[in-house]
Homo-oligomer: A and B are copies of this chain.
């Protein structure tokens, strides 16, 4: 309860004081005409890998040019929320040209089922495609349908990847079942094996890939300079969450939530907290539909914003800035309130600026700067 009161007070402070943090920002359109772009990864200061959800990767350059679709991609199921989703570079990309992407993988054993999967590949030197594609991880069980694939990746920097997954909507109750990958964060080695120091690697009852559980649909993930893991996930109607992701922790879905069923009505017992289940750092009622998450490890937006988390909103078409210190929300405000575009991805680029992808059949790559 203490935490909730703190949070309420902080919201109050923010409402009163948010103008103190306000900055005038300008947004430049770098590229247009992307079909439902979902994620971006910066190859260098000029070139960005951009995924399109229907199953393509393109290279976008700062001059606005958009390449043909790269060749060599695996079979991807483009279905409702599913398709080609996140992409990241290996931390040693400059040496090994490796990339990782996650996507909706058609189940070879079933005509109507699919899974969120992670693949590794190498980017060809001539940038025409990817090669050496290898499936590293496949969410189990596979399931039919097109919702809640999750699918955000982090290169942890210790030879492992973290993957934020979804609950496949109809399987929500399984987010509490630690024997599978539904509604989980999982951690894997870059060759697809189980890290020996995974929290449940020695357990008979828990799937050894499981890092944390009780998630609904993770849509943004980032590791900050201190090594802390942040993820945002969608709640049902209300109840979107920003979580500090730690090993072994149960994040409560669908037992506790600040949301309710679509159209109203309690979920389960209508609890918002329970013993043994973690509280979110921030929750949003009504939902903002968060997607994309970046840490402002830059002074491009002023030293006061350094370390802030930036979260995109699909629903309201703005960005949410949240500053957290030792688990306490210090600042929270809406920025770019008039952007009015579904924000799908938010990344900090090597040039120190924040870039956005907007989600539409004519999606854009945008750059955010402080007005001169």
Contact = CB atoms under 8 A, between A and B. Distances in A.
Contacts of A74: 107-111
Please give me the 8 A-B residue pairs with the lowest Cβ-Cβ distance, nearest first.
A74-B109, A109-B133, A75-B108, A108-B108, A109-B135, A74-B108, A75-B111, A105-B108
A112 B134 CA distance: 15
Contacts of A111: 73-75
A106 interface: yes
A294 interface: no
Among A75, A133, A134: residue with most chain B CB under 10 A = A75
Q: Is the interface of A mostly helix, strand, loop or mixed?
A: loop
Contacts of A133: 109-110
Interface string A111-154: 10000010100000000000001110000000000000000000
Among A75, A106, A109: residue with most chain B CB under 10 A = A109
A109 B105 CA distance: 9
Given A72-B110, A109-B135, 6 more contacts: A74-B108, A106-B106, A108-B108, A108-B135, A109-B134, A110-B133
8 contacts: A74-B111, A75-B107, A105-B108, A108-B108, A108-B117, A109-B133, A109-B134, A109-B135
Nearest to A74: B109
A155 B192 CA distance: 34
Contacts of A108: 74-75, 105-106, 108, 117, 135
Interface in A261-295: none
A76 to B, nearest CB: 9
Contacts of A105: 108
Nearest to A106: B75
A117 B108 CA distance: 11
Contacts of A119: 109
Nearest to A71: B111
B135 A75 contact: no
Nearest to A132: B109
Contacts of A117: 108
A72 B112 CA distance: 9
Interface in A72-125: 72-75, 105-111, 117, 119
Nearest to A133: B109
A115 to B, nearest CB: 10
A234 B133 CA distance: 33
A117 B134 CA distance: 19
A108 B73 CA distance: 10
Nearest to A134: B109
A229 to B, nearest CB: 28
Contacts of A135: 108-109
Nearest to A55: B111
A152 to B, nearest CB: 21
Contacts of A72: 110
A105 B134 CA distance: 17
A109 B111 CA distance: 17
Contacts of A110: 72, 74-75, 133
A244 to B, nearest CB: 34
Contacts of A109: 74-75, 119, 133-135
A208 to B, nearest CB: 21
A320 to B, nearest CB: 37
A346 to B, nearest CB: 30
A138 to B, nearest CB: 9
A111 B75 CA distance: 5
